[in-house]
Amino acid sequence: GMVIVNPSDAIEAEAAVKAAYEYVGPMYLRFGRLAIPVINDRPDYRFELGKGIVLREGKDVAIIATGLEVNESLIAAEKLAADGIQAKVINMHTIKPLDEELVLAAAKECGCVITVEEHSIIGGLGSAVCELLSEKLPTRALRIGVNDVYGESGPAVELIKKYGLDGESIYKKIKQFV
């Protein structure tokens, strides 16, 4: 089937393009239009299709994010830590195939999973994670993304805020959920 990749920064975007070149089969690379901070500049960074990356350890809640929402989720995790909530943050750059092993391990460890994506909550990362959890390890879960509404045009930063996908809004939604 189709491989779907949503890189979280410029370093990951470059790695994804190289992986797409080498991959035999159809692949969709999804790129946002915002300039976002580099988060994958660690010396041990390694891009592998179908494998998520744990960026922050935590035991209270697992935040699984993709694309530009990875950075926003790291911001939310910092705010949660100030409130005594330790959030594991996972960069799930490959939505399909999903890193099922990592999702299940995070769900088992934390008991609560939050997905965050700059995409409809229907048919994206949140759906894939919730389908997996419902079949293999029923877990409390919250999907943060765009609800089933008609899209709007405008400056990306304004739309991120409007749809509650900025770090502060993510923090508030998670705080209310846990």
Kindly list the strands in the beta sheet with 3-5, ordered across the sheet, starting from the edge strand earlier in the chain.
27-29, 3-5, 94-96
Show the beta-strand stretches assigned E in the chain: 3-5, 27-29, 53-56, 61-65, 87-91, 94-96, 112-120, 140-146
DSSP code of residue 94: E
Instruction: For 99-124, write each residue's pLDDT tens digit.
Output: 999 999 999 999 999 999 999 999 99
What residues have CB less than 8 Å from 7, skipping those under 6 apart? Answer: 13, 15, 16, 29, 30, 31, 67, 93
User: What's the pLDDT band for 34 if we cut at 50, 70, 90?
Assistant: confident
Distance separating alpha carbons of residues 128 and 42, to the nearest angstrom: 28
Residue ranges per structural domain of the chain: 48-177
Whole-number average pLDDT of the chain: 97
Note the pLDDT tens digit of each residue in 54-67: 999 999 999 999 99
pLDDT tens sequence across 127-146: 999 999 999 999 999 999 99
Q: Give the pLDDT of residue 92.
A: 99
Fold category of 48-177 in CATH: Rossmann fold (3.40.50)
